[in-house]
């Protein structure tokens, strides 16, 4: 567990630095009259992630966190099983994006994760699986003006209704 914690922190730190570097290809500052530049959100989110990984490394070196004190394996048999089910669900999510849209794939993933992996009630599952993709649609498409993948043409009627609400 101890080795797994520092390796994960190191990989996330490298990923953070890479994302910060790449986001500087766009403006990361404030543009007068427009708002934050295109690279601002990715840059600062990656910076926060980098600070978090540094704090994890400090706790690891000081042995103040439970994982940094543990000699147990990173994944037991239940952890490996969970990793396969969640990882498989994420691969399914990614595969569905170009077919049923980012929001449709999110709906399917949330249903899979909450109902079948989490064993929550259908009411809770449907509330989250319907509410979150719609909220994300209005956030990205309406507020941020960022278009997400819409999938194949058969999803257009749903998006036309939501665009009518925005515009």
Tens of pLDDT, residues 66-125? 888 888 888 888 889 999 999 999 999 999 999 999 999 999 999 999 999 999 999 999
Quick one: how many helices (H) and strands (E) in the chain?
6, 2
User: Tens digits of per-residue pLDDT, 42-71?
Assistant: 999 999 999 999 999 999 999 998 888 888
| Helix or strand run (H / E) with residue 30 | strand 30-31
pLDDT of residue 87: 95
Domain boundaries, the chain: 1-74, 75-167
pLDDT at 23: 94
Q: Is the pLDDT of residue 156 over 90?
A: no
User: Per-residue pLDDT for 153 more than 90?
Assistant: no
- Residue 38 in this model has a pLDDT that exceeds 90: no
In this prediction, residue 154 carries a pLDDT of 85
- Residue-by-residue DSSP string for 35-47: EE-TTHHHHHHHH
Alpha helices in the chain (DSSP H): 2-23, 40-62, 66-69, 77-111, 122-137, 156-166
Tell me the pTM. 0.69
Token pair in block for residue 158 = 């749903």
Output the pLDDT for position 113: 97
Q: Give dist(CA 59, CA 64) in Å, integer.
A: 5
Q: Can you tell me the mean pLDDT for 17-37?
A: 90
At 63 the pLDDT is 93
Alpha helices in 112-121 (DSSP H): none
* The two three-digit tokens of residue 26, written as one number: 């766009």
């Amino acid at each position: 567990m101890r080795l797994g914690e520092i390796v994960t922190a190191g990989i996330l730190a490298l990923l953070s630095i890479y994302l910060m570097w790449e986001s500087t290809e766009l403006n990361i500052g404030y543009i007068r009259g427009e708002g934050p530049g295109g690279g601002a959100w990715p840059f600062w989110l990656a910076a926060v992630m980098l600070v978090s990984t540094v704090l994890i490394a400090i706790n690891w070196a000081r042995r103040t966190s439970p994982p940094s004190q543990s000699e147990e394996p990173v994944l037991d048999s239940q952890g490996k099983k969970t990793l396969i089910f969640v990882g498989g669900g994420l691969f399914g999510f990614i595969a569905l994006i170009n077919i049923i849209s980012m929001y449709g794939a999110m709906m399917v993933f949330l249903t899979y994760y909450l109902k079948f992996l989490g064993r929550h009630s259908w009411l809770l599952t449907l509330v989250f699986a319907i509410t979150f993709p719609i909220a994300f649609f209005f956030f990205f498409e309406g507020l941020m003006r960022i278009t997400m993948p819409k999938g194949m043409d058969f999803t257009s009627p749903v998006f036309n209704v939501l665009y009518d609400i925005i515009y």
